[in-house]
Structure 1
Amino acid sequence: MTLPRYAYLGPAGTFTEAALRVMAPEGTAEHLPMVDVPSALGAVRSGEADYAVVAIENSVEGGVTATLDTLAEGEPLVILGEVVLSISFELVARPGTRIEDVARVSAHSHGLNQCRRWIAENLPGALQVPASSNAAAAVALADGSAEFDAALAPPGIGESLGLEVLVSGVSDRASSMTRFVRIGRPGELPEPTGADKTTLVVHLPSDRSGALLQMLEQFSARGVNLSRIESRPRGDRPGEYSFSMDAMGHVAEARVAEALIGLKRTCPVVLFLGSYPAFHGEVTPVEPETTDESFAEATAWVAALRDGRA
């Protein structure tokens, strides 16, 4: 039996691989490490991989722009599930290195941003060197190709590479979390659970007063809560922005479907990026007037009016 192929931000030992192992336990998937997020998503689009696991949001920096922008452009992809992991780092270096010797420190740009205050306080004046991933920075130290003195790495990888752990539990916030998503090609959607998210990218109809409010009213009028909304610049229209958002609900629910119909009528571009179970598993509260039954009753009433039966 052929195992499903999962692309992820490599090399082995990244936080993304840890998320992959939660979504697809040991022995249930073939792992395909990639150099960056666009390559991982591109592998799904090309058919090289069946799925990709990528970070989409963290509690310190917000949305992961490489993921948001790559999903918003090109052949359609959808989110099929998510997992949230606690994130902290180890400061690792070659044996014999002291923390006061560290003049240059490396990690993925998001890792550096998640530890910027810690770096300022504990490595004052150290030059920050971005790496393709946190694990890649540690590997470069171990194989001697690094042009830096230390790396912020996922727990355990430094020791496995023969590096020395100078400091454990590095993070600006003890509660730092990152949300990872499983990406696939469009097809049959996960069944609604009552605790779901729907992810969208929407372009406003025009750059005018009230355009954003009109878009948001499509959700509020149907009782759909947005748990995340952030703007991204449109590369083809300088000075204009699209909006990436998570709505609490599933497209199979009438209230969410009606909101999407409203968006489709009023916005020039609406990209559906999937309806899938939310990691927290908390059932979304639904007001009585926005239940499926309420929408069905209202639709039946209008049909009766049209047929002269009311």
Structure 2
Amino acid sequence: MRIPPLVALALAWVVLMLGVAILADAAAPYSYTALDLRARLSPPIGFGGTWAHPLGTDELGRDVLSRLVHSIRMSLLIAFGACIIAAVLGTALGFLAAHFRGAVEHVVLALVDFQASMPFLVLALSVLAFFGNSLPLFICLLGLHGWERYARISRGLAISAGAQGYAAAVRQLGASPLRIYGRHILPNIASTLIVSMTLAFPEIVLLESGLSFLGLGVQPPATSLGSMVGYGREYLTRAPWVLLAPSITIVVTTLAVSILGDWLRDRLDPTLR
């Protein structure tokens, strides 16, 4: 299987980000909370800085590279967790609608329409302002973003698979609905759901970055890419490297995942062959 050069670069970047997230403690030269006021706002290499802080330091003398490494881990953890929650919730509701039909299907479709019509940013701001902020709540809240697309996809594909011979044959053999959907229908539609997750992943990263930029996401002393951008905006004219490092990481990561998602869709969709 030949991989286009652009897709290969995107794949290499995603693998690099995953490696950085997994090995963040070993990859970071300093603790992301370590202060060095004597070196505050030190420029990066190439702009008068030293190798002690390759990407410079922020307003408190914290190493930007170390904070960037831990921010990548936090942002990817939130994005992966939210994508998995959305996929599991949406797929389960889609299967319920496809199996029971009737009143259950109408209720699920009504919830889908309500979710699609509700501005998620307004919902997120309301929930975080009312219940406060914690990392599990934040991940679960972001997991509610986009679950309706999985529900629509899984419902349509499950109804189509149920009308085909293999699902009917297994049903005639006395298999339970859980076995039919879990062992036979889900593996046949998994490729479509995986592609949907890769396309939704950049949205979660950008949404987390936006909420953290507004101060409603990851709270100190923890750090994320969005919170780094939020803190760095006040020093944009004096120390632009504080903001540019996480901003470039966000842009390149979302672009790489989007490219991979488009390529997987072309490879796995039989109608495009």
Please give the range of the TM-score, normalised by the shorter of the 2 chains: under 0.3
Structure with the larger helix share: 2
Instruction: Give the TM-score normalised by the residue count of structure 2.
Output: 0.24
The structure, 1 or 2, with the larger RCO (C-alpha pairs under 8 Å, 6+ apart) is: 2
Instruction: Give the TM-score normalised by the residue count of structure 1.
Output: 0.22
